[in-house]
Structure 1
């Protein structure tokens, strides 16, 4: 998979200090990764790069919305996501990304590609259980919700009212209270 050029930061020509980069993430970005869970996306990524003499520090901040389907009703809704991540880029003999927070680039590297970090940061910001806000507050009306209510088991209080208790049990209960 070839890296996307717009997510490659050439750091060789940058002065020592802090530099800011902004990226707008839309659905085409996830199509590149063949990730199909999002119907649509509108995400802003702010990257603050601090260049030091021996290493680079990157601070990622994402905010925006992704349109996903609810796990309960399969209705699409916009999920707000926010996430942050810090990455240290150091230099060594060979490329190494085994550590989550540290990326080692070979000596002589002049750019860093951050597309994989942005992708993982966005995907991990989405909750595991995706529930439409209308389901939680009861404002969503859906055929699936109506069917779920119809098929759900009755509450315990209603069951007790509907069941006829065997009179022998009442006699046994008197034994407990007659002490």
Structure 2
């Protein structure tokens, strides 16, 4: 968690108005989060903070490359992301702090806001749900041996000599 300290913004000394913070996210960042979908990447993060008297508005812009694991050949390949998100931090005097997805609350005792978890969340939400490169089998990152083995083991309906008669019955239902 020591490497995440750089992602804390001390807001107590900031004047009311606009402020900008820039971060670089790499492999050490993702190692701090257990069970991360993204294991590595080179990303840049711009945080535009607008401090007001009762709240702060943080606009995040994250762009760069993340390494994701291909669902087809199981090798890592780079995936480009460029995403924006917003977080609102409200100052409250009560001890009852209730956070929502887009609004967090800060007490009088807080002096800084840690944006590492929000950056991590933004990156993971920008990662593709299905991880397949743009041109499967034809990129440098593709594992040709695994793809060849998949092709060898896959059987199509036309190639199958021993057809199961149960499938013919089910196909006739679809035609009705």
TM-score by length of 1: 0.77
Q: CA deviation at 1:155?
A: 5.4
Offset, 1:107: 2.3
The offset of 1:111, in angstroms, is: 1.5
**Larger gyration radius, structure 1 or structure 2:** 1
> How far has the Cα of 1:13 moved from its partner?
1.4
Q: Indicate which of 146, 149, 169 corresponds to 1:147.
A: 149
Q: Is contact 2:87-2:102 (8 Å) kept?
A: yes
TM-aligned CA deviation for residue 41 of structure 1:
1.0
CA contact (8 A) 1:91 1:106 kept: yes
CA distance in 2: counterparts of 1:43 and 1:95, whole angstroms: 35
Distance 1:79 1:119 in 2: 16
Within 1, Cα distance between the matches of 2:154 and 2:20? Answer: 53
Question: Which residue is 1:88 aligned to?
Answer: 88
Displacement of 1:68:
2.1
The within-5 A match list for 1:1-179 is 4-35=4-35, 37-92=37-92, 93-94=94-95, 96=97, 98-135=99-136, 138-140=137-139, 142-154=144-156, 156=158
Structure 1's 49 and 36: CA in aligned 2 closer, same or farther, altered over 3 A?
A: closer
Unmatched segments (≥5 aa) in structure 1? 164-179
**Is contact 1:3-1:115 (8 Å) kept?**
no
Distance in 2 (alpha carbons) for counterparts of 1:123 and 1:71: 16
How many pairs does the alignment contain? Answer: 158
Distance 2:130 2:56 in 1: 35
Cα distance 1:18–1:144, how it changes in 2: closer, same or farther (>3 A)?
same
The two structures have a TM-score, normalised by structure 2, of 0.78
**What do the CA deviations read for 1:151-174 (whole angstroms, capped 9, x no partner)?**
323355x77xx99xxxxxxxxxxx
- Where structure 2 has 5 or more consecutive residues not aligned to the other structure, the ranges are 163-176
Higher helix share: 1
> CA RMSD, aligned part only?
2.4
CA distance in 2, matches of 1:101, 1:80: 25
Distance in structure 2 (CA, Å) of the matches to 1:41 and 1:100 = 25
